[in-house]
Amino acid sequence: MIKNCSFKLSHYQECLQSALKMGYIFLTFEDYLQRKNKLPKGQKITLLRHDIDHKLSLAKNLAAIEGGLKIRATYFIRLHGDYNPYNFSGYAIIKDLTAMNHELGLHHDAGFARLFSENAASFFKRDKEIFENIINKKISGISCHEPNNSNDEFMVTDKNIRQLGLKYQAYSPIFLKDMKYISDSSARWREGCMCNFIEKGTPKLCVLTHPLWWHKKNPVENY
């Protein structure tokens, strides 16, 4: 039984190790869509989602743990955040995540176009194309940054994903309603740490984490 829940990276590793022992398999979002109707009955699954709001460098902390356990996750990268995914250090991380066979998607800033009085739908298509050029690959999905503050913005929904050249958006009911969705937003698990759901054997888990909150010794080290 896991004790002493925290946002230490050691606890993150402990949670993933516990899930593996409990018989969970880890799938990317794209993998899940392709395989969900072919999975054995009763197979426990976990989708790991990482929204990289600030500091792309912190993604390396989670990726290192996942790589050591041969686990794949889905990383959503911002174009308009506090980092540059196309400068030397950012691109090196992108290449490392790709080499580790993680899925990369776009962390979409829904309200960004409005700040410059640009057409939001066209702006999104341009962002998507730019990001695909950076990673040299078509993306399958996106997650919206701060969706609760974006209700009046152009949104990618289940109704328009196909025409935008996507297979999914991360706030679809497929991921929020058809499985147990939990998030560490603002460094707070609203319903308790993910380890509790793992230990209960919750059949399908979608776990959103933000690398900013996860630290080695103290949260201050990430600022």
Map tokens 């976990």 to a residue: 46
Among 31, 213, 50, 12, CA closest to 145: 50
What's the whole-model pTM score? 0.95
The residues, any chain, with a CB within 8 Å of residue 60's CB and separated by 6 or more, are: 93, 96
Map tokens 């209700």 to a residue: 151
Residue 151: predicted pLDDT = 64
| Residue 26 burial class via C-beta count within 10 angstroms: exposed 0-12, middle 13-18, buried 19 and up | buried
Q: Write out residues in the chain with pLDDT < 70, as ranges.
A: 1, 148-153
Residue 149: predicted pLDDT = 63
CA distance 203 to 221: 35
Residue 17: predicted pLDDT = 97
In tens, the pLDDT along 101-112 reads 999 999 999 888
What Cα–Cα distance (Å) separates residue 46 from each residue in 31, 73, 201?
11, 9, 11
In tens, the pLDDT along 24-60 reads 999 999 999 999 999 999 999 999 999 999 999 999 9
Neighbours of 199 (CB within 10 A): 15
